[in-house]
Amino acid sequence: MTTWQELPGEVRDFVRGHVGPVSSAVEITNGRSSDLAAVLDTAAGRVFVKGVEGVSRRMRHLRNEITTSTLAGDLAPAVLFAEDIGEWLVVGFEYLTGRPAGLSPGSVDLPVVADVVNRIGARPGDDTRPLRKRFGANDWWGRLDADAPELIEGWDLADAARWSAAFPTLIDGDRLVHTDLHGDQIIIGDGPARVIDWAFPGAGAAWVDPAFIVLRLIEAGHEPADAEQWARTHLKGLQGTDDAHLTAFAVYLAGMWTHWTITRTGPGLHHRAGLARDYAAWRLAQESEASEN
């Protein structure tokens, strides 16, 4: 991570040209998506600044946050400025006050979460990359069998591959999709809740973000059946969606995230992979039970 004081002078000068003198800067260290993430105190108030040095996947993700702020409207923090300066891309965002949403059973925040997810699903994806292209043509289970078979011992690989292959077609659609929704991304303040970190937006089916919420509800302590029931009751995008969609979602994510544990580094990778595998195993058991009845 780079601190505010360690930034090149021309980058700091550019930022000060937009916000005025900076009286203090507090770096945010609980993430690896940017080289710089800091809250700046200025005479006009606080500003959240992100920066990435060098062309990379992370720079592309930060550019996504710039473009998606328009599509997401008042759901996302406003982009105050953005500029390429030398090797750096630096972006200033509206600073949001509030707290992350709680997803545990009985949380008073669940109605707010439902409202946020429904608001996202009501917005068009327009020119964002279609999810079917992002998630298509990847045989994650076959790659796991070749690269790390010990991680998927006991799985029916043919069945997993079949469900996973169905996923790209099922997620096709024209709605705006966040694809990384969890409680920390939903900020509850004095006004309507807001959503941060739009690094991975896409155009897809309205049920995709609700499916991610189901996974996060399970992570927060809900039983899988209870999480799905809550989502089907309160999240419009999932209403009327066949169980097979959730099974394909869970199996695809289980394969992808598990393969990422051997090809990428980052906080929470192994945890998320285990979470997805547990949910996928449960969903496959439900499919097997339904086929026998």
Give the CATH H-level superfamily of domain 9-94.
Phosphorylase Kinase; domain 1 (3.30.200.20)
pTM: 0.94
Instruction: Convert the pLDDT of each residue in 283-292 to its tens digit.
Output: 999 999 988 8
Instruction: Convert the pLDDT of each residue in 14-73 to its tens digit.
Output: 999 999 999 999 999 876 689 999 999 999 999 999 999 999 999 999 999 999 999 999
Instruction: Determine the Cα–Cα distance for residues 222 and 260; give it in Å rounded to an integer.
Output: 26
User: In the chain, which stretches have pLDDT less than 70?
Assistant: 31-32
CA dihedral 277, 278, 280, 282 (to 10 degrees): 160
What confidence score (pLDDT) does residue 267 get?
A: 83
Q: CB within 8 A of 35, min separation 6: which ones?
A: 1, 2, 51, 52, 53, 58
Instruction: Determine the Cα–Cα distance for residues 271 and 257; give it in Å rounded to an integer.
Output: 9
CA 254 vs CA 85, 145, 161, 268: distances in Å: 39, 13, 11, 14
Where does the chain hold its CATH 3.90.1200.10 domain(s)? 100-292
Where does the chain hold its CATH 3.30.200.20 domain(s)? 9-94
Tokens read off for 237: 């995008």
**Sheet strands (E) in the chain:** 22-27, 36-42, 45-53, 79-85, 88-94, 99-100, 175-177, 186-188, 194-195, 202-204
Q: For 274-277, which contacts have Cβ atoms below 8 Å and span 24 or more sequence positions?
A: 275/215, 275/218, 275/219, 276/215, 276/250
Instruction: Determine the Cα–Cα distance for residues 71 and 201; give it in Å rounded to an integer.
Output: 10
What confidence score (pLDDT) does residue 31 get?
A: 66
Instruction: Determine the Cα–Cα distance for residues 167 and 175; give it in Å rounded to an integer.
Output: 16
| 100-292 to CATH, choices 3.30.230.10, 3.90.1200.10, 3.40.50.300, 3.90.1300.10 | 3.90.1200.10
